[in-house]
Amino acid sequence: MKKKIMTVFGTRPEAIKMAPVVKQLIADEQTTPVTVVTGQHREMLKQVLDFFQIKPDYDLAIMEKSQSLEQITSKVLLGLAPILQQEQPDLVLVHGDTTTTMAASLSAFYHHIPIGHVEAGLRTWNLASPFPEEANRQITDDLTSLYFAPTDLSRQNLLQEHHPADRIFVTGNTAIDALKYTVNREYHHQVLDQIPDDHRLILLTMHRRENQGVPMVNVFRAVREVAQADPKLDVIYPVHLSPKVQELAHQAFDGIKNVHLIAPLDVVDFHNLAAHSYFIMTDSGGVQEEAPSLNKPVLVLRDTTERPEGVKAGTLKLVGTKSADVKTAMLTLLNDDQQYQQMAKAKNPYGDGHAAERIVDQCNQFLTQDII
Ligand code: UD1
Ligand code: UDP
């Protein structure tokens, strides 16, 4: 009999990285897929679902303006319970480290349903950074039965916490699978058409809760000063819809001609603009994984990263959020071609684009072994 595998996700990055898994499950003859979105994000989630043509079976539609962590957690728990009861899945797949991920895992655990964690084992070992994601992923891994570690290092992290070795599979990151659907050499975008050929383009994203406040103000000051000093530079910042982020971005950049604040891009636009950029500045997790595949240096606007593979490979530079450090790092990439090339040519450590196939294979093996 076919086994029922339920995927649960709620935010933009989870959707982008779960889409290849959902596609693989739909194509797989041994499984019956059920797709549940919590709707922790609304517009930013819809952009991804539309592109990948994923029609969820259930949408909890929980998003509220400036929502609290308590609201997300409690609404996911209460919303998922009747769905789990009705569907009785054999396995629930979650992704990464959002509050949807943690609450969905807790919900599956309460219903005695095994959990597969895609992108398991990432750690900073610092519960304050990123907040609350480090706690979310540790809690999720404590409840998980099947661990899909993107890299060998994330496998080591799980072993260090005494998770069972025979349940941990190194698959690569599904972010790299997603790029196969989106990046297109013939791509054109109106923003690109407006930028003269001799200008260099920096793509900026910044949204994390722990950066909302002084860290963002400091980073934005550095970006503003570098942009104002170099008219042949264009900074494109698709601003996250979080009201606090919107406020800080507009305060810092309104009136600066070569800093372009735009709405969140759909995933095709974002990946292709990234591919056309000179370099990327971000505090995003997913962008740190994608950029090495696109041969783009990344300045990471955080003090910690759970993705040290990219730092070691030389493609990511952890610059923190102090104005002077950010400015120095930007000017180095703009003026020192040797350093730029070293970062741009570093090897992508996050996988070969076949992670989703490995994940679905392992789910099938697990579900037919009868060892739950
Ligand atoms: C969430 C995740 C974070 C992830 C990020 C990806 C948690 C606690 N945080 O943070 O790990 O890196 O998503 O982007 O799980 N909003 C909209 N429309 C949208 C999305 C958001 O208006 O489509 C606004 C709403 O006012 C919402 C606010 O943004 O309340 C914050 O959204 P939320 O999901 O709570 O936090 P993020 O900062 O997006
Ligand atoms: N992304 C997007 N549009 C944007 C900005 C980012 O599609 O305007 C994509 C990006 O390619 C990556 C993901 O969103 O796959 C990262 O999401 P985000 O930065 O919101 O979350 P994080 O990865 O930090 O959890």
Q: What is the pLDDT of residues 255-266, one digit of tens each?
A: 999 999 999 999
Torsion angle (degrees, nearest 10) of CA 194, 45, 183, 173: 140
Residue 192, pLDDT > 50, answer yes
Give the CATH class of 3-173+352-367. Answer: alpha beta
Rounded percentage of the chain residues whose pLDDT exceeds 70: 99
Burial profile 223-242: b = 16 or more Cβ within 10 angstroms, e = fewer? bbebbeeeeebbbbbbbbbb
What's the rounded Cα separation, in Å, for the pair 43 and 262?
Answer: 14
Active site residue 240: yes
3-state secondary structure of 182: helix
Active site residue 95: no
Residue 58, pLDDT > 60, answer yes
Q: Whose CA is nearest to atom 2 of ligand 2?
A: 267
Q: Whose CA is nearest to atom 17 of ligand 1?
A: 241
Is 288's C-beta closer than 6 angstroms to any atom of ligand 1?
no
What's the rounded Cα separation, in Å, for the pair 123 and 117?
Answer: 14
Average pLDDT over residues 296-315: 95
102 Cα–ligand 1 center, Å: 15
Is 71's C-beta closer than 6 angstroms to any atom of ligand 1?
no
Q: What is the pLDDT of residues 139-182, one digit of tens each?
A: 999 999 999 999 999 999 999 999 999 999 999 999 999 999 99
The angle that helices 43-52 and 12-27 make with each other, rounded to 10 degrees, is: 30
Give the ligand whose atoms come closest to the C-alpha of residue 263.
2
327 Cα–ligand 2 center, Å: 23
Q: Which listed residue (123, 155, 163, 207) is catalytic?
A: 207
Residue 112, pLDDT > 60, answer yes
Q: pTM of the full predicted structure?
A: 0.96
Instruction: Please check whether the two domains, 3-173+352-367 and 190-344, share a CATH topology.
Output: yes
Rounded percentage of the chain residues whose pLDDT exceeds 90: 94
pLDDT tier, 370 (very low <50, low <70, confident <90, very high otherwise) = low
Average pLDDT over residues 39-47: 98
Give the ligand whose atoms come closest to the C-alpha of residue 283.
2
11 Cα–ligand 1 center, Å: 7
Q: Closest by alpha carbon to 141, among 94, 173, 76, 75? A: 94
Residue 206, pLDDT > 90, answer yes
Predicted local distance difference test score (pLDDT) of residue 208: 96
Query: So where are the chain's domains?
Result: 3-173+352-367, 190-344
- Domain 190-344 sits in CATH at 3.40.50.2000
Q: Closest by alpha carbon to 182, among 72, 47, 296? A: 47
Residue 344, pLDDT > 80, answer yes
Is 101's C-beta closer than 6 angstroms to any atom of ligand 1?
no
Q: Which listed residue (28, 90, 97, 306) is catalytic?
A: 97
Active site residue 208: no
> Quick check: 10 and 76 in contact, CB under 8 A?
yes
Mean pLDDT (the chain, rounded): 96
> Quick check: 359 and 116 in contact, CB under 8 A?
yes
Active site residue 302: no
Active site residue 234: no
